[in-house]
Structure 1
Amino acid sequence: MIGTSLSGVTFISVPGTVGKMTGSEYIYGGFEYYMMVIGFFIGYFIVAAILLPLYYKMNLTSIYTYLGKRFNLEAHKIGSIFFIISRAIGATARLYLVVNVLQIFLLEGLGVPFWVTSMILLLMVLLYTFEGGVKTIVITDTLQTSFMIISLVACIVYILSNLNLSFGEAYTILEQKNYTHFINFDPNSKTFFLKTILGGIFITIAMTGLDQEMMQKNISVDNLKNSKKNMLTFAGTLLLVNLAFLFLGGLLYLFALQYGAEYGTTGTDPVSNIFGFKDAAGNIKNIMGDDLFPALSLNGYFPMAISVIFIIGLISALFPSADGALTAVTSSYCVDLLNLNEDKTKTEKEKKRLRMKVHLTFTVMFFILIMVFKALNDKSIVYLIMEIAGYTYGPLLGLFAFGIFTKFQISKKYAILMVTILAPIITYLINFAVTSYTDYRIGVELIVLNGLLTFIGLWMMKDKQHLRIV
């Protein structure tokens, strides 16, 4: 689970947020992201208390079977579709981040096109999912997660040694530069601490509790007690690991400043919005955000050993997240949408061939989505992923909440489909209007708004008489 959660986004994007401009009352992002991590932590307790007992009680192969039993087949398939969309977009955003780093800092100079790099990495992920089955993937995921943590520790130790600082001395300097503030008190800011904690809670409920891949790892544990123990241990581990990544981020900015990097502005913006080293013409090449760690690691600022460790850590962060997502969307499509497990008309050989076709189709889809992210070229993927999750996981959140906390049925044909399509559209329009006409900025609480609109829409579509099936 740790390997799946700690993707290249955690490895690259989270450290990059520390010295990134926020546009709020604070100059830098600092450790504001940690408020979201605290929200994640609280969210895991809610998942363990409410959703895990429900899944164990119903003995589900697919968690979206619950929606089918609680409502109807339409709800079951809608749940699966939103999971597939959410997982595909989230996984490819993470993949794009890693591909882009390898492309810019290693392969571009060799004349290798971005699309070739993307295709090669996807083929590697594809082969990885085929080789050895689930048991091999669990073992290799564990090894790769270990490599990622080792890379994190090695980079921290090297920078502290290079700057001749102890842990305490480094933290004091980070404090002086305002790189360590945890709490943003500006209610209009996207990273206002209460919004961030609330958003983190619901993102965990949706992206873990309502995610087939993540929950399958938990409900495969032999009993509910051990499953809860597994989840809460995992939650505690994430608190420590994310704090370490943020500390690394602060050290990376200190290291860059020590070697001549500086903040600057572009255009007429009075606030510094770029950070990097000056080129021969005196222009700052911006490495703020996601480009910081790879720029330092792969452009000669770190010794070769640390650069190799960085690449190992980056690749180690890629595979557990990418292979799991590809396998999960294939499984959900085959089980929930094609009902392949219950299909008596096909032989096992035919089923296997069909699964292979679906797997390859999703690989092509992942490639297309990576190219879309390349076109968008966002400099802070971690917040982009959270925003996308707000739109795609919101309907799942509202649908499950309506099923668990009410006893109403919805028998009108296509009612659930209509609500789950309209809710994200209305959420987008509200976000656009708020951004255009007010100083308030909707952050990760977007998922709460979307889920609430879905819940209200389902309430409006409910039958007059109610009957709880589950």
Structure 2
Amino acid sequence: MSQTLVFIVISSYFLLLLLISYLTSRKTDDLTFYTANRQSPWYLVAFGMVGASLSGVTFISVPGEVGNSSWNYLQFVMGNMVGYAVIAMVLIPLFYRLNLISIYEYLRDRFGQKAYLSGAVIFLVSQTIGASFRLFLAATVLQIAFFDAYNIPFFVTVLTTATLIWIYTYKGGIKTIVWTDTLQTTFLLLAVIISIVIISQQLDLSLGELTSVIHQSPLSTVFEWDPLSNKNFFKMFFAGIFITITMNGLDQNVMQKNLTCKDQKEAKKNILWFSISFFISNLFFLSLGVLLYYFAAQNNIAIPTSSDELYPILALDHFGTLAGITFLLGIIAAAFSSADSALTALTTSFCVDIMKLPTKRHLNQRATRLKVHIGFTALIFVVIVLFDLLNNSSVVSAVFKAAGFTYGPLLGLFAFGLTNKIAVKDKLVPAICLASPVICYILDSHSAAWFGGYQFGFEILLVNGALTYLGLLLAMKK
């Protein structure tokens, strides 16, 4: 694609986001930023959450990973479905009954102030690293697609993208996010569908023949039963359940959207229909993965060393202009739907959990919230620049993986709080929340050597949560 066309596509996309921001941020107040005044239509939230859940990492990695692990990822998605059911039946009623702005306020009421701050800090650290990593990937794509042609430094690309996110979220907050997520989900799914259509046209395959190619391919194998494999069904299925509960149900970024529905009945309906849409969307991504490898084989195109590069190379260099445009919009939408909601959630958590703004009636809350929002935008910019300076993808991935370990204590805290009424020594909770992920990171790094070749997969989260739960039991008040 020409640089002029890329510029027009990117500019038009952001102008559309700014228009949505303008329309949704009129006559807003502080509660609008945090909760959208609990007036979001459930179906809008459900559809928009699909794009937010399918991050830029998923958009690029899932189709490419099919070449390495077939459809094993679908085992994880099956677990996700059960996890969403738990969120709908257990967590949604709890959070609505307590009328929470930040879900970590529950920890204050159940355990005490130290536990409350521990949960909030875990989220703030994990989400800052996660949002930065996802936006780093998006900025990298934009750099290659456009900014490199004009010798614009990477930090300028990052600063531009972070500033644009701040501009369209600073006023309307979560209300704006609910609507922009809908737009971004549309572009995300459109990119996959158009790519599949173009493959069928270039290979002259009917819908039935496409289905046959996918069905007969060894790359569409779903189940893995080897107990030593980290792709084993039981590992991935149960990990899918608990990772969904933890990284969705116990994550302010995700739950803040669910809590914008007017009541728990609509929020439950939102979760149900979102989970179905999420499952179907992943089937499209996995099907695309099989077709990408089939297309490459039919056209004698060399498979890149990194599976993450397969979809971008084919979309931008072999599928034509339309596919290139939709791919570019898709990767931007996938990354920004994660980053913009993360920035809003970080601002909300810091203002509510750390600064206690809703209780300070005589403080200029809007001005303070604005400063916090700017602060997190700057922090994410700095973290991304540090990622770039490291110039080592394995190091960046390791940092992102380490951030994932911090969600284990949240699982343990909420599980302990919901399954019993035991009081614990609040002052010991921060130490427990720090020790559990450290122990798990060590176990994960040495599992093959220590446990006869056994490799932890996603189930390391369960171990993490269990250690936190055990630590809380040991810290109970007599």
- Would the TM-score normalized by the shorter structure come out above 0.5? yes
- From the superposition, tell whether residues 128 and 380 of structure 1 become closer, same or farther in structure 2 (CA, over 3 Å): farther
- From the superposition, tell whether residues 423 and 380 of structure 1 become closer, same or farther in structure 2 (CA, over 3 Å): closer
Query: C-alpha separation between the residues in 2 aligned to 1:365 and 1:342?
Result: 26
State the 1:376 CA deviation.
6.5
Query: C-alpha separation between the residues in 2 aligned to 1:31 and 1:112?
Result: 39
- From the superposition, tell whether residues 291 and 386 of structure 1 become closer, same or farther in structure 2 (CA, over 3 Å): same
- From the superposition, tell whether residues 255 and 207 of structure 1 become closer, same or farther in structure 2 (CA, over 3 Å): same
Identity over aligned pairs, percent: 42
Aligned amino acid, residue 328 of structure 1? A
- In the alignment, does 2:333 pair up with 1:316? yes
Query: C-alpha separation between the residues in 2 aligned to 1:380 and 1:445?
Result: 22
SS at match of 2:102: coil
Q: Could you tell me which residue of structure 1 aligns to residue 224 of structure 2?
A: 184
- From the superposition, tell whether residues 114 and 259 of structure 1 become closer, same or farther in structure 2 (CA, over 3 Å): farther
State the 1:362 CA deviation.
1.3
Aligned amino acid, residue 318 of structure 2? Y
| Residues 359-398 of structure 1 aligned to structure 2 (within 5 Å) | 359-374=373-388, 375=390, 377-378=392-393, 387-388=401-402, 390-398=404-412
User: 207, 217, 221: which one pairs with 2:257?
Assistant: 217
User: 276, 289, 292: which one pairs with 2:310?
Assistant: 292
8 Å Cα contact 2:63/2:286 also seen in 1: yes
- In the alignment, does 2:56 pair up with 1:16? no
Query: C-alpha separation between the residues in 2 aligned to 1:205 and 1:229?
Result: 17
Q: Could you tell me which residue of structure 1 aligns to residue 434 of structure 2?
A: 421
Aligned amino acid, residue 269 of structure 2? K
- In the alignment, does 2:376 pair up with 1:336? no
| Residues 42-121 of structure 1 aligned to structure 2 (within 5 Å) | 42-121=82-161
- From the superposition, tell whether residues 132 and 359 of structure 1 become closer, same or farther in structure 2 (CA, over 3 Å): closer
Unaligned runs of 5+ in 1: 20-27, 263-274, 277-285, 465-470
8 Å Cα contact 2:174/2:344 also seen in 1: no
TM-score, normalization by structure 1: 0.85
Aligned amino acid, residue 407 of structure 1? K
Query: C-alpha separation between the residues in 2 aligned to 1:217 and 1:373?
Result: 29
Aligned amino acid, residue 339 of structure 1? K
Aligned amino acid, residue 341 of structure 1? P
User: 458, 463, 466: which one pairs with 1:449?
Assistant: 463
State the 1:340 CA deviation.
1.4
- From the superposition, tell whether residues 188 and 142 of structure 1 become closer, same or farther in structure 2 (CA, over 3 Å): same
Aligned amino acid, residue 307 of structure 1? G
SS at match of 2:219: coil
8 Å Cα contact 1:326/1:363 also seen in 2: yes
User: 295, 315, 324: which one pairs with 1:255?
Assistant: 295
Q: Could you tell me which residue of structure 2 aligns to residue 240 of structure 1?
A: 280
Query: C-alpha separation between the residues in 2 aligned to 1:158 and 1:388?
Result: 39
Aligned amino acid, residue 361 of structure 1? G
8 Å Cα contact 2:170/2:373 also seen in 1: no
Aligned amino acid, residue 62 of structure 2? V
Query: C-alpha separation between the residues in 2 aligned to 1:188 and 1:106?
Result: 44
- Deviates most, 310-319 or 164-173: 164-173
Query: C-alpha separation between the residues in 1 aligned to 2:136 and 2:439?
Result: 28
Aligned amino acid, residue 336 of structure 2? F
Query: C-alpha separation between the residues in 2 aligned to 1:137 and 1:332?
Result: 16
User: 421, 424, 429: which one pairs with 1:410?
Assistant: 424
- In the alignment, does 2:34 pair up with 1:34? no
State the 1:260 CA deviation.
2.3
Query: C-alpha separation between the residues in 1 aligned to 2:120 and 2:459?
Result: 23
Alignment deviations for residues 404-426 of structure 1 (CA, whole Å, 9 cap, x no partner): 1121111352x000000000111
Alignment deviations for residues 281-322 of structure 1 (CA, whole Å, 9 cap, x no partner): xxxxx3x32221112222x21211211111122222222221
Q: Could you tell me which residue of structure 1 aligns to residue 320 of structure 2?
A: 303
- In the alignment, does 2:55 pair up with 1:7? yes
- From the superposition, tell whether residues 210 and 191 of structure 1 become closer, same or farther in structure 2 (CA, over 3 Å): same
Q: Which structure has the highest helix share of the two?
A: 2
Aligned amino acid, residue 58 of structure 2? T
Aligned amino acid, residue 463 of structure 1? K
Unaligned runs of 5+ in 2: 1-48
| Residues 164-175 of structure 1 aligned to structure 2 (within 5 Å) | 164-174=204-214
Query: C-alpha separation between the residues in 1 aligned to 2:295 and 2:211?
Result: 13
Query: C-alpha separation between the residues in 2 aligned to 1:371 and 1:189?
Result: 36
8 Å Cα contact 2:170/2:370 also seen in 1: no
8 Å Cα contact 1:15/1:245 also seen in 2: yes
- From the superposition, tell whether residues 190 and 107 of structure 1 become closer, same or farther in structure 2 (CA, over 3 Å): farther
Q: Could you tell me which residue of structure 1 aligns to residue 17 of structure 2?
A: none
Aligned amino acid, residue 314 of structure 2? L
Q: Could you tell me which residue of structure 2 aligns to residue 399 of structure 1?
A: 413
Alignment deviations for residues 346-399 of structure 1 (CA, whole Å, 9 cap, x no partner): 2x2xx3332222222211221233244443754899x97984464021000001
Cα RMSD after superposing both structures? 2.3
Aligned amino acid, residue 293 of structure 1? Y
Q: Could you tell me which residue of structure 2 aligns to residue 439 of structure 1?
A: 453
| Residues 196-215 of structure 1 aligned to structure 2 (within 5 Å) | 196-215=236-255
- From the superposition, tell whether residues 237 and 154 of structure 1 become closer, same or farther in structure 2 (CA, over 3 Å): same
